[in-house]
Amino acid sequence: MISRDVEKILLNVQKPGRYTGGELNSVIKDKDKVDIRFAFCFPDVYEVGMSHLGMKILYSQFNEREDIWCERVFAPWTDMEEQMRKNNIPLYALESGDSLDKFDFIGFTLQYELSFTNILYMLELGNIPLLSKDRHDLFNIVVAGGPCACNPEPLADFIDLFFIGEGEEVDLEVMDLYKQCRANGETKQQFLEKAAQIQGVYVPSLYDVEYNDDGTIKSFTPQNNAPAVIKKRIITDLDNLYYPESFVVPSIEIVHDRAMAEIFRGCIRGCRFCQAGFLYRPVREKSPEVIDRQCHMLCNNTGYDEVSLSSLSSSDYTKIGELLGNLTKWSKDENVSISLPSLRVDGFSDEILSKIKTVRKSGLTFAPEAGTQRLRDVINKNVTEEELMDTCSTAFNGGWTTVKLYFMIGLPTETLDDVAGIAQLGQKVVNAYYNAENRQKGKSVKVTLSTASFVPKPFTPFQWFPQDTMDKLKEKQMHLKDSITTKKINYNYHDSSTSFVEAVFARGDRRLCKALLKAHEKGMIFDGWGDFFSLDKWLEVFDECGIDPAFYANRQREFDELLPWDHIDYGVKKSFLIEECKRAYKNETTPNCREKCSNCGAAQWKRGVCFEKRKNMV
């Protein structure tokens, strides 16, 4: 329900469909008949936010409750921002058209460190004071969750409370506490102190931080009975977990414009650079029957003709063959295609190939991550060159002619020989195409090599490693480019300067809050977009704030250093991460969770892959 004022300005913006609301399956309620209004804010444009599965789940779950109305808010592009400021229109939610300052909760999902400036951008446009200390009432409570909440410190001054871990249960517990505190006439401070007692809730204002002379952290001290360690929340039974029967169908084309079904959470692999693989331990699977039912329901209720099976590694789902068999029973007749993202090189079997051959043949994507076996062992990728060649041959014989391979450069212990190995691996894939007996005759192969710069992330065995300097990363990018000797290989690489700023905020502490505030004052927004990101501006911000960004991004950390996120517990022991880091130095691999338990700590949840074998032995 947008206002007349908004209607008038939409003709002046490039994509008015981003700002109108009114989509199929969006939820409209009477605001006078709900107790809590929740603005779910995605700090990026509509097309990106509407593609995010977590937002779809929580939006629907909140709105299942009669006492909660959850609405969607996205960051307006600069053409819309200009019109909003010119016409004094505050940032509003798509369902009601009400501005952010009309909501009890303003919630942000933290998917990417370079979206942090957009949080301040959206708060300001919505007439919300930026600093939590300036929001005094039990109203306009600003909350945040998602993977980047694992290190909440760079946002500590702005967010009232963080949700740590999976949100379906803890979010609603906080809503219920809020209702209770409001009914009792309690203050915001009293609410926050009580919320901090809920597992999975972190209230940064209840912790004092002291620093050593060298700039490292000396101590985190909880106040007002706040817990010394904040333990993540986890959902152990996915079959009985709420899942939407419908999604809001966007009014314009979005990044991932299809139905999505979550098939499991977590990952068995333990790649040492991969934050998600450690944050979401242990692996918990949904049954094929539940996934099949949810897929069919979503297609019926949205009209989508494609379903994506969402997970960190689709081919690691133990019943993938049975699931695909169930799905093809109805999807073929109803002209629905099944998409399998996140396939592993060692999981692309003939069975999977035969099941997805009916899907339109877009390119296949795999992620070897490193160009040599030595470096793949360092990162614990547990994929061999032989497996990659076998997989590519299977795909080429099955009719595919396009393969994308994703790699990282700047990985710990990497040499220029490892970098050149990426080009050599690409050439071997090209050769595998022409050696495939049943390849498409008369068609040439297209192999794309894409590299991202390694960013050390919290809660990984590589959290102590320094990031390569930008000059070193650029040298490696050029070395790889020069090592490619065929036009059948395309090479794409990610700008190292954005990875540098990402690393600063990924491993930063709450002293970075002043840098974010300064960046906001300078009008910095959409840092994840090449059109807007400016390294020069960021370096200027850091300099004006007296911050050395290399201290966070390019510094080797010692195992005994107190890290900014050490008071957060995601269930993986720090001692385990240290041992994994030491194994990386020795080029030693660790078996995946189904082959052997490595005693990482995730067994404490008493569910998932940690207990599958024990359950089967009883």
Mean pLDDT score, 88-94? 98
Q: DSSP string covering 575-588, please?
A: HHHHHHHHHHHTT-
- Contact (Cβ atoms closer than 8 angstroms) between residue 406 and residue 371: no
pLDDT at position 364 is 78
Task: Report the C-alpha gap between 273 and 376 in whole angstroms.
Answer: 11
- Paired with 259 in beta bridges are 307
The rounded Cα 453 to chain-centroid distance in angstroms is 17
Over 60: is that where the pLDDT of 359 sits?
Answer: no
The pLDDT, as a whole number, for residue 474 is: 97
Q: Mean per-residue pLDDT for 9-16?
A: 96
Tell me how far apart the 2 most distant CA atoms of the chain are, in Å.
Answer: 76
Tens of pLDDT, residue by residue over 141-174, are 999 999 999 999 999 999 999 999 999 999 999 9
193-199 long-range CB contacts below 8 Å, 24 or more apart? 193/224, 193/225, 193/226, 195/161, 196/161, 196/224, 196/225, 196/226, 196/227, 197/225, 197/227, 198/170, 198/173, 198/174, 199/170, 199/231, 199/233
Average pLDDT over residues 541-563: 98
Nearest Cα to Cα of residue 392 among 372, 355, 364: 364
Percent of all residues in the chain with a pLDDT value above 70, rounded to a whole number: 96
Q: How confident is the model over 16-26, as a mean pLDDT?
A: 96
Mean pLDDT of 357-372: 74
- The pLDDT confidence band at residue 354, using thresholds 50, 70 and 90, is low
pLDDT at 549 over 90: yes
Contact 211, 218 (CB under 8 A): yes
243-258 average pLDDT score:
95
Contact 267, 277 (CB under 8 A): yes
255, 51 contact by CB (below 8 A): yes
Q: Is the dihedral of CA 482, 484, 486, 492 positive or negative?
A: negative
Torsion angles phi and psi, residue 562, rounded to 5: -80, 115
618 pLDDT band, cuts 50/70/90, is very low
pLDDT at 109 over 70: yes
Strands (E) in 463-571, as ranges, are 489-493, 568-569
CA distances 502 to 116, 149, 512, Å, are 10, 14, 12
Q: What is the pLDDT of residue 360?
A: 43
Could you read off the pLDDT of 596-608 as tens digits, one per residue? Answer: 999 999 999 988 8
Higher pLDDT, 350 or 563: 563
Mean pLDDT, the chain, rounded, equals: 94
pLDDT, residue 314, reads 87
Query: Residue 339 carries which side chain, given as an amino acid letter?
Result: S
Mean of pLDDT values over 4-13 = 94
pLDDT reported for residue 349: 67
CB 324 within 8 A of CB 338: yes
Q: What is the DSSP string of 528-557?
A: TSTTT--HHHHHHHHHHTT--HHHHHS---
DSSP 75: P
What pLDDT score does 356 carry?
61
> Across residues 468-489, what is the average pLDDT?
97
Q: What is the pLDDT of residue 271?
A: 96
Res. 615 pLDDT band, cuts 50 70 90: low
Mean of pLDDT values over 49-53 = 97
Separation between Cα atoms, residue 194 and residue 188, nearest integer Å: 10
Tell me the pLDDT band of 330, cut-offs 50, 70 and 90.
very high
Least confident interval from 101-115, 235-249, 351-365, 382-396: 351-365
How far are the Cα atoms of 27, 248, 274, 291 from residue 258, in angstroms, in the given order? 19, 11, 26, 16
**Tokens of residue 446, six digits:** 């297209």
d(CA 346, CA 344): 5
Query: Looking at the predicted structure, is the pLDDT value of residue 616 above 60?
Result: no
pLDDT, tens only, 193-202: 999 999 999 9
Note the pTM of the prediction, 2 decimals: 0.95
Query: Is 182 a residue whose pLDDT tops 80?
Result: yes
- Check whether 361 has a pLDDT greater than 60: no
Q: Which residue, chain included where needed, has tokens 């097309």? A: 47
491-525, pLDDT tens digit by residue?
999 889 999 999 999 999 999 999 999 999 999 99
**First vs last Cα of the chain: how many Å apart?**
57
> What Cα–Cα distance (Å) separates residue 496 from each residue in 221, 310, 369, 409, 535?
36, 28, 17, 10, 10
List the structure tokens of 568: 């957060």
pLDDT, tens only, 529-545: 999 999 999 999 999 99
pLDDT value at 96 more than 70? yes
- Residue 362: the pLDDT is 57
Distance separating alpha carbons of residues 343 and 365, to the nearest angstrom = 7
Using CA atoms, how far apart are residues 140 and 123, in angstroms rounded to an integer?
Answer: 10
So what's the pLDDT on residue 440? 84
Q: Please, which residues have CB within 8 angstroms of residue 575's CB and are 6 or more apart in sequence?
A: none
